[in-house]
Amino acid sequence: MKTLLISKQPMRSLVVLGLALVIRVSVPAQAEMNLDKELRADVVLRALVDELQRDHSGLALEGLERPYFIEYALADASRASVSATLGAVTSRNEYRNRSLRTDVRVGSYELDNTNFRSGGYSFFGRAGSSSGAAMPIQDDYHAIRQAIWWATDRDYKAVVEALVQKKAIMESKLIEDKPPDFSREQPVVNFDERAPVELDLAAMEAIATVVSAVFCDYPEIQNSNVTLSAGSGNRYLVNTEGTRLRFAGLRCVLSVSATVQADDGMKLSDSFLIFGNTPDDLPSPEQVIQRCHDVAARLLALKNAPVLTSYSGPVLFEAEAAARIFARQFGYSFAGGQRAVGSRAGPDDFANKLNRRILPRFMNVVDDPTLEEIEGVPVLGHYEYDDQGVPAQPVTLVENGRLRALLMSRNPSREFTQSNGHGRGFMGQPRAAVGCLVVTADEGLDAATLRQELLEAAADEGLEYALRIASLGGVGDSAGRFGGEGFSPLVMYKVYPDGREELVRGAEIARIDLKAFKRILAAGDTPYVYNTPASEGQTYAVPALLFEELDLAKVDRDYNKPPILPSPLARKDQEVTALP
Amino acid sequence: MTPNRRRARLWPAAVAIVLLTASAALCADEHPLLSCMQEELQLSLENLVGPDGTKPYFLQYSVYDKQEMFVSASLGALTADYANHSRSLDVDVRCGDYALDNTRQIRGSEAGFDYGHSATSLPLNGDSLATRHAIWLATDNKFKAAVKRLAQVKANLKVKVEEEDPADDFSREAPSTHIGPWVSHTADREALAARAQRLSQRFRDFPLIYSSSVSISGGATNNLHVNSEGSRLQFGRTAWRIGIQAGTIAEDGMELWQYRAFDSATLEGLPDDDEVMKAVDRVIAEILALREAPLVEPYTGPAILLNRASGVFFHEIFGHRLEGHRQKDVEEGQTFAKKIGEPVLPEFLSVLDDATLRRFKGVDLNGFYEFDDECVPAQQVKLVTNGVLKSFLLSRSPTRGFTQSNGHGRRESGATVVARMGNLIIESQHQVPFDELRQMLISECKRQGKEYGLLFTDISGGYTITERYMPQAFKVVPILVYRVYTDGRPDELVRGVDIVGTPLTCFSKILCTADDPAVFNGYCGAESGSVPVSAISPSILVEQIEVEKKQKAQDRPPILQAPIAEEKGALGAAQN
């Protein structure tokens, strides 16, 4: 197991500017033997490979191009999910399914049907078999092939048409100079031991029930929910270049959320997620229960905290808050690749900022999915091969504050022609995305020094107090952009020069732009490891960040007042009966 | 006259019996959840008061407990296998009074009626505390929304001209109390999965059928209702279905499909393997025949709709237009709003909806229920008598001239109740044996100078456009249509048929019916969600129906041979 010791030196990556090539010997003899053995033993793999080869050589429509590349991704899994509230199960689901993604490409690596957007529909390959032949969940060789055959046939006909349209648009818009559509990569063959496809729903129910019962002690908590979702099974990736992969195991997520409502109607929510490969990997129920009590206690304190109506000045983001604002700002920006033909350019495109400074000189960023653990925390964004079968590699993105590289899938850009193992998205079309983003600062400061720096910055501005944000809270994941531009931090403290701190609530940040990150004054010496399930799992390891100046203000929202009647949890003589 | 129809004629007696059993009830197997709901209802009624002093004048809690399962197999291999248990709560709060409350349509706004979807998940078991908590919170939310909306309704009334339909917002009804058994099912999912596999295996011999499946689904649903008027109900039902589906693509790219279903209230009531296998074989024969069938030509002329097809036709084209709320909603076409007492069908036809009917000719009816979702007992309603429109399907939302519900306020959990069909029944006094009806079709063709007439043997549910701003057109999807030639040639299957035209004209042109009423069981989707329904109709001969060629999908049939064809080839080789 590799462990990252956060050093003050930026990590050197294997890939600099995406130019270095990973040299691999094409499928050695041992792998060949391995493959034969696996094909004999694994019906799903055999059906995928046989149908792949038949469709590759056989698919052709008169006068139209044949596929030059076909890839199948298949997830074979049992999935289960249990939700509980106040010690009682509210939903319980369990199902077994196999889902298939087909990626059929016609044309050539230089110009194919992808990277094309027309009439609002994007031709990025399609998730197959949603209609038509359903995928068996049993090991029936011909029935599995039937489902693959049908999906491939439909996909082929759609992409052939897309390529014709794309070429027409390129001609009419005189687009001649564009990067190739698909990078050439070495095939890989690797098989994880086949994982069992089974889950213990009763055990999951027991965990969710006992954890959710914690909130019975807190009548002021208006809403609470505990959901445990788990998947178990295997994923397959095969393509016509010779890649044959089987990934074993899926993941399990325990999520806890709770909401209180202040007397003025403001709702305050907090949540946390814990990941493991199986429910057995989760921390003990006692540990999770303790975290729930912490969440509850913090929410109760916030319920009665005064409202911060506005603030303008230095802000220190710590722990989860720092990791999440970094994830939100940069999660998508570091993704490279070309724009689809027919789509518009964005002014914030990082491809235009290469070699320019985007962070303070003392900051460095590396994305390294090969890491399994950071500071003892398991890395959710760890993988050995990305979802296009390219081996994971560390990539130095920012060096001394300057943008040096972008994360690449097999979708090339002008600047980077090869994948650097960051094609993510197994069932959706893979695209470049963060795996494990590690942010470090040269001469990072310890917590005490950082707070001192915060106070000094505030004093310099002539402010009576400074602001420290300890948690963004909220329910759900905000690493993506779907949450809008703003942030409504949950746990904020006014920090006074004498060291006194006051918990406040309510003020929101309308926007943090790139310039604000560039002017970060200082950063901490220890990363907070933030795991999110986005893009098949991502990790952001980010130290505390001290911003020079941010604006916060309370936003008037149309909240209902708190409930009129007291909660049943607060009733004195409530009879508790058992409900079947 | 069938026993069922005799029963139908005696409907006041039937209603009396239902009411009698309802009031006699209250037995020991009451689910403990019911008293929990009752207590919370009481607490909320007594104590809920808004900042301006508004109190709820009506409150109802409805719990829908569903235990469902689904297995599906294709080509002998299982493709889906799952079970699900859900328990959801609907809270209906009304503020204002029966004459004017928060549910009134807000005119001139996009919101119109409030068809919002909001059910609350209740715990599936455990102690009552979590359940009470969920009820408490949902009630608080719903009450606040009702108070807010009542203010909007009142403001809207001040700025708009008087409504055309000045009916009250909520009808007064006698409370219902009835405690039926808590139903459950003990289906062996593994055995059902094996059955679906066995039945679906047959398709493996037919590589030209590109997709196929046999599914078995069903389960138990229990309803619990309490309301502030004193209603207290517990009743449940089980429902099961075997579905057979097959799809292919004709050489010219037209997508073709077939679907057959068997419905039954009990698992034991489903047909045995031999009967289902016969249906599978029929589906196979029909879809392969369709694949080879010629394309339909645009046609206007006489046609027969076979009984079940006619049932779907009446449901889609006629039944939906008799739903009470459509007479009220200003956005609706209101086809029949002012036609009470006027002829809308030929004199020999009557239409009723009888949700109290459990079975017809040995077939369990999907549209049977004991009480609707507003705690009103199911009833038989005479909608059209001897061609004359008599009534609408009514929920507790009164409409011009109708102040009471007739037990047709239905919804799927989470939706707002509207008037819906249960068992729609078409009765005819001008009926002949089917062969005679066929002869009449041929004579009518000759009279109109047509070379052939059309015979619709199967129609799948389509959709009906009832909104005013859309043309009053309709579309149902015929799946099997034959040409019946006047010169004695055998009937000829055609494909690609689309019915077009305007609804009212079509119904005035029904010439005669056969004496072969049959049941179509289905699930109907509308504003208030998906509800189980049935339609019973004899075959009908219409003077004129208009069809056109449907738009075909562009994809051609698959390029490579189906893997199951290769499998057969390999097997053949092995045998040689």
Q: What is the CATH number of the domain that holds A226?
A: 3.30.2290.10
How much is the pLDDT for B333?
67
Is A96 exposed, middle or buried, given 0-12, 13-18 or 19+ CB atoms closer than 10 A? Answer: buried
Question: Distance between CA atoms of B346 and B426, rounded to whole angstroms?
Answer: 12
Asked whether residue A573 is domain-assigned, the answer is no
Residue of B nearest to A568 (CA): B133
- The angle that helices B273-292 and B189-200 make with each other, rounded to 10 degrees, is 40
Q: Examine the domain organization and report whether B361 and B246 are in the same domain.
A: no
Owner of token pair 């209802």: B41
Q: Examine the domain organization and report whether B286 and B307 are in the same domain.
A: no
Query: Within 10 Å of residue A168's Cβ, how many Cβ atoms?
Result: 11
- Collect all residues of chain A within an 8 Å Cβ-Cβ radius of residue B559: 58-61, 153, 156
Q: Examine the domain organization and report whether B232 and B307 are in the same domain.
A: no
How much is the pLDDT for B27?
45
DSSP secondary structure code for residue B204 in this structure:
G
Q: Examine the domain organization and report whether A259 and A150 are in the same domain.
A: yes
Determine, for residues A134 and B84 on separate chains, whether the beta-carbon distance falls below 8 Å: no
Q: Examine the domain organization and report whether A358 and A260 are in the same domain.
A: no
Q: Examine the domain organization and report whether A261 and A386 are in the same domain.
A: no
Average pLDDT, chain B: 87
Instruction: Name which of A163-172, A335-344, B31-40, B123-132 the model is least confident about.
Output: A335-344
Distance to chain B for A115, nearest Cα, Å: 23
Asked whether residue B338 is domain-assigned, the answer is yes
Asked whether residue A3 is domain-assigned, the answer is no
Q: Examine the domain organization and report whether A279 and A317 are in the same domain.
A: no
ipTM of the predicted structure?
0.87
Given a cut of 80, whether residue B555 has pLDDT beyond it is no
Residue pair B130/A88 in contact (Cβ under 8 Å)? The answer is yes
Residue of B nearest to A148 (CA): B563
Q: Examine the domain organization and report whether A225 and A297 are in the same domain.
A: yes
From chain B residues 194-233, the ones with a CB under 8 A of any chain A CB are: 204, 210-211, 213
> Which of A145, A560, A577 is the closest to B128 by Cβ?
A577
Task: Provide the residue range defining the domain that includes B260.
Answer: 24-292
Sequence-ordered strand ranges (E) for B501-539: 510-514, 518-526, 529-537
Q: Examine the domain organization and report whether A345 and A240 are in the same domain.
A: no
Determine, for residues A149 and B560 on separate chains, whether the beta-carbon distance falls below 8 Å: yes
From chain A residues 22-51, the ones with a CB under 8 A of any chain B CB are: 51
Residue pair B376/B394 in contact (Cβ under 8 Å)? The answer is no
A94-A97-A102 Cα angle (round to 5): 150
Q: Examine the domain organization and report whether A74 and A142 are in the same domain.
A: yes
Interface check for B463 against chain A (CB to CB < 8 A): the answer is no
Q: Examine the domain organization and report whether A379 and A438 are in the same domain.
A: yes
Q: Examine the domain organization and report whether B522 and B457 are in the same domain.
A: yes
Asked whether residue B564 is domain-assigned, the answer is no
Count of structural domains, chain B = 2
Q: Which of A287, A302, A317 is the last residue of a domain?
A: A302
- Collect all residues of chain A within an 8 Å Cβ-Cβ radius of residue B130: 85-88, 90
Interface check for A146 against chain B (CB to CB < 8 A): the answer is yes
From chain B residues 100-159, the ones with a CB under 8 A of any chain A CB are: 121-134, 136-137, 140-141, 143-144
How much is the pLDDT for B106?
84
Question: Distance between CA atoms of B391 and B344, rounded to whole angstroms?
Answer: 12
CA distance to A371, A377, A440, A542, B284, per residue, from A5 (Å): 11, 12, 11, 13, 66
Low-confidence ranges of chain A (pLDDT < 70): 1-29, 118-133, 345-348, 476-485
Question: Distance between CA atoms of A105 and A68, rounded to whole angstroms?
Answer: 6
Interface check for A138 against chain B (CB to CB < 8 A): the answer is yes
- Collect all residues of chain B within an 8 Å Cβ-Cβ radius of residue A91: 86, 121, 124
Helix or strand or coil: residue A41? helix
Instruction: Name which of A341-345, B88-92, B132-136, B421-425 the model is least confident about.
Output: A341-345
Question: Distance between CA atoms of B312 and B44, rounded to whole angstroms?
Answer: 44
Question: Distance between CA atoms of B61 and B42, rounded to whole angstroms?
Answer: 11
Task: Provide the residue range defining the domain that includes A395.
Answer: 305-554
Residue pair A477/A272 in contact (Cβ under 8 Å)? The answer is no
Q: Examine the domain organization and report whether B406 and B543 are in the same domain.
A: yes
Question: Distance between CA atoms of A371 and B503, rounded to whole angstroms?
Answer: 67
Residue pair B212/B220 in contact (Cβ under 8 Å)? The answer is no
B262-B266-B269 Cα angle (round to 5): 55
Mutate to test the interface with A, among B124, B144, B249 (most CBs of A within 10 A): B124
Asked whether residue B155 is domain-assigned, the answer is yes
Question: Distance between CA atoms of A318 and A525, rounded to whole angstroms?
Answer: 11
How much is the pLDDT for B114?
52
Q: Examine the domain organization and report whether A384 and A434 are in the same domain.
A: yes
How far is the first Cα of chain A from the last one, in angstroms, to the nearest whole number? 47
Given a cut of 60, whether residue B572 has pLDDT beyond it is no
Q: Which of B292, B314, B348 is the last residue of a domain?
A: B292
From chain A residues 232-291, the ones with a CB under 8 A of any chain B CB are: none
Q: Examine the domain organization and report whether A352 and A273 are in the same domain.
A: no
pLDDT tier for residue B552 given thresholds of 50, 70 and 90:
low
Determine, for residues A578 and B126 on separate chains, whether the beta-carbon distance falls below 8 Å: yes
Torsion on CA atoms B107, B113, B116, B122, rounded to nearest 10: 140
Distance to chain B for A186, nearest Cα, Å: 29
Q: Examine the domain organization and report whether B148 and B223 are in the same domain.
A: yes
From chain A residues 219-238, the ones with a CB under 8 A of any chain B CB are: 222-223
Asked whether residue B44 is domain-assigned, the answer is yes
Interface check for B568 against chain A (CB to CB < 8 A): the answer is no
Asked whether residue A570 is domain-assigned, the answer is no
Q: Which of A302, A330, A356 is the last residue of a domain?
A: A302
Length of chain B: 576
Structure tokens at A473: 């809270």
What stretch of H or E contains A345? none
> Which of A136, A157, A563 is the closest to B79 by Cβ?
A136
From chain A residues 107-136, the ones with a CB under 8 A of any chain B CB are: 131-136
Nearest to B162 by CA among B326, B330, B397, B322: B330
Between chain A and chain B, the number of residue pairs with CB atoms below 8 A apart is: 178
Given a cut of 60, whether residue B2 has pLDDT beyond it is no
How much is the pLDDT for B503?
57
Mode of pairing for the β-strands spanning B510-514 and B431-432: parallel
Asked whether residue B558 is domain-assigned, the answer is no
Determine, for residues A136 and B123 on separate chains, whether the beta-carbon distance falls below 8 Å: no
Residue pair A69/A152 in contact (Cβ under 8 Å)? The answer is no
How much is the pLDDT for A203?
92
Q: Examine the domain organization and report whether B366 and B220 are in the same domain.
A: no
Asked whether residue A166 is domain-assigned, the answer is yes
Torsion on CA atoms A169, A170, A171, A172, rounded to nearest 10: 50
Question: Distance between CA atoms of B392 and A21, rounded to whole angstroms?
Answer: 75
Mutate to test the interface with B, among A65, A70, A142, A145 (most CBs of B within 10 A): A142
Question: Distance between CA atoms of A69 and A239, rounded to whole angstroms?
Answer: 7
- Collect all residues of chain B within an 8 Å Cβ-Cβ radius of residue A142: 75, 204, 563-564, 566-567
Interface check for A309 against chain B (CB to CB < 8 A): the answer is no
How much is the pLDDT for A347?
65
Determine, for residues A563 and B136 on separate chains, whether the beta-carbon distance falls below 8 Å: yes
Count of structural domains, chain A = 2
| Percent of chain B residues topping a pLDDT of 90 | 70
Given a cut of 90, whether residue B198 has pLDDT beyond it is yes
Query: Within 10 Å of residue B305's Cβ, how many Cβ atoms?
Result: 30
Distance to chain B for A417, nearest Cα, Å: 34
CA distance to B112, B146, B508, per residue, from B149 (Å): 11, 5, 43
Asked whether residue A461 is domain-assigned, the answer is yes
Owner of token pair 């005479």: B382
Q: What is the mean predicted confidence (pLDDT) over B252-266?
A: 90
- The phi, psi pair for A521, rounded to 5°, reads -85, -40
